[in-house]
Amino acid sequence: MHTLGRLHLVTDTRPGRDVLGVVGHALAAGFGVVQVRPEDAVTDREAYELTVRVLALCRAAGATCLVNDRLHVALAAGADGAHVGADDLPVAAARRVLGPHAILGATARDPVTARRAVADGATYLGVGPAYATTTKTGLPDAIGPAGVGAVVSAVEVPVVAIGGVTPARAAELFAAGAHAVAVVGAMSGAPDPAAAAAGFAAVLAAAPPEPAR
Ligand SMILES: Cc1ncc(COP(=O)(O)OP(=O)(O)O)c(N)n1
Ligand SMILES: Cc1nc(C(=O)O)sc1CCOP(=O)(O)O
Ligand SMILES: [Mg+2]
């Protein structure tokens, strides 16, 4: 049984978004993980201050707080771990920076990359884009539930599906074996984030139990 939460909110620091408000709605609905993902234009000082505030909300809710890309921010703020991808520190280097116990996520879009990331020290994999997304540009084509399932079959660590995830699609991804889903736009762009969060929680409650691993 994997202990990582199964609903991940990834913060949206684009202008006009209510970052902390959305985090609050997600945590209240039972999201177990918040990943702080500052846009590139966000300074380290701002990223650190945001992480400290998100971490406090996570601690109060018993949730996990991760930081995307900026390992020094994760360490300085005392977050639970970090996430790296192809343009960030290599997984093995990130593991050396974070130490042996931190949660370390790595992006993997196929089974070969996934196995290598796990061998290098990743404790979970972010796999996508599951569906088309407008939140991040320059991504390859969507891999769909089947592509996510191919990675699930290749590794023992939890797979977190990301990219275009909505409540309806989350159900498909859980059925394909994803341990968790990670969400940006379906929460931060929702007219009613509390209702959106409740929708994700309802889908998780109805998901089939994971097979013992
Ligand atoms: C859960 C999860 N999966 C994938 C990503 C993407 O990380 P990366 O490929 O490094 O891209 P950026 O998010 O840094 O633009 C993620 N952040 N979280
Ligand atoms: C940050 C990110 N990484 C992806 C990947 O596939 O690696 S997809 C993505 C954006 C996800 O945003 P939304 O939930 O709004 O589609
Ligand atoms: Mg990255």
Percent of the chain's residues with pLDDT above 90: 94
Tens of pLDDT along 92-147? Answer: 999 999 999 999 999 999 999 999 999 999 999 999 999 999 999 999 999 999 99
Cα–Cα distance for residue pair 141/166, rounded to 1 Å: 18
Query: pLDDT tens digits for 55-90?
Result: 999 999 999 999 999 999 999 999 999 999 999 999
The response to whether 38 counts as a known ligand-binding position is: yes
Identify the residue whose C-alpha is closest to ligand 1 atom 3.
126
Instruction: State the chain's mean pLDDT as an integer.
Output: 97
Q: Which amino acid is at 4?
A: L
The answer to whether 159 and 110 have CB atoms below 8 angstroms apart is no
Domain residue extents for the chain:
7-206
Beta bridge partners of 164: none
Closest CA relative to residue 107, chosen from 73, 77, 66, 72 = 66
CB 77 within 8 A of CB 96: no
Q: Which residue has the tokens 């996570």?
A: 58
Per-residue pLDDT, 117: 98
- Ligand 1 interacting residues, C-beta cut-off 6 A: 8, 10, 35, 37, 68-69, 83-86, 88, 105, 107, 126, 136, 160, 162, 182
Count CB-CB contacts under 10 A for residue 18.
12
Domain 7-206 listed as CATH 3.20.20.70 = yes
In the predicted structure, residue 213 carries a pLDDT above the cut 70: no
Mean pLDDT on 38-42 = 94
Binned at pLDDT 50, 70 and 90, residue 210 comes out as confident
100 Cα: distance to centroid of ligand 2 (angstroms): 27
Neighbour count for residue 212 (Cβ, 10 Å): 5
pLDDT of residue 1: 65
Residues near 94 by beta carbon (within 8 Å), at least 6 away in sequence = 71, 82, 84, 88, 104, 106, 121
Q: Could you give the percent of the chain with pLDDT greater than 70?
A: 99
Distance of CA 39 to the CA centre of its chain: 15
**Within 10 A of 195 (CB to CB), how many other CB atoms are there?**
11
What pLDDT shows up at residue 208? 84
pLDDT at residue 209, as a whole number: 82
Structure pTM?
Answer: 0.98
Closest CA to 159 of 197, 114, 119: 114
Is 70 known to sit in a ligand binding site? no
H or E segment and range at residue 33: strand 33-36
Asked whether the ipTM of the predicted complex exceeds the cut of 0.90, the reply is yes
Cβ-contact 15, 188 below 8 angstroms: no
Average pLDDT of 148-159?
98
Token reading at 30: 């039972």
CA 84 to ligand 3 center in whole angstroms: 5
Annotated ligand binding at 133? The verdict is yes
pLDDT at 2 over 80: no
Gap between the Cα atoms of 185 and 16, Å rounded: 13
Compute the distance between CA of residue 55 and CA of residue 67 in angstroms, rounded to an integer: 10
User: In angstroms, rounded to a whole number, what is the distance separating the alpha carbons of residues 198 and 135?
Assistant: 22
Answer whether residue 51 shows pLDDT above 70: yes
> Which phi-psi region, left, alpha or beta, contains residue 29 (left: φ > 0; alpha: ψ -120 to 50)?
alpha
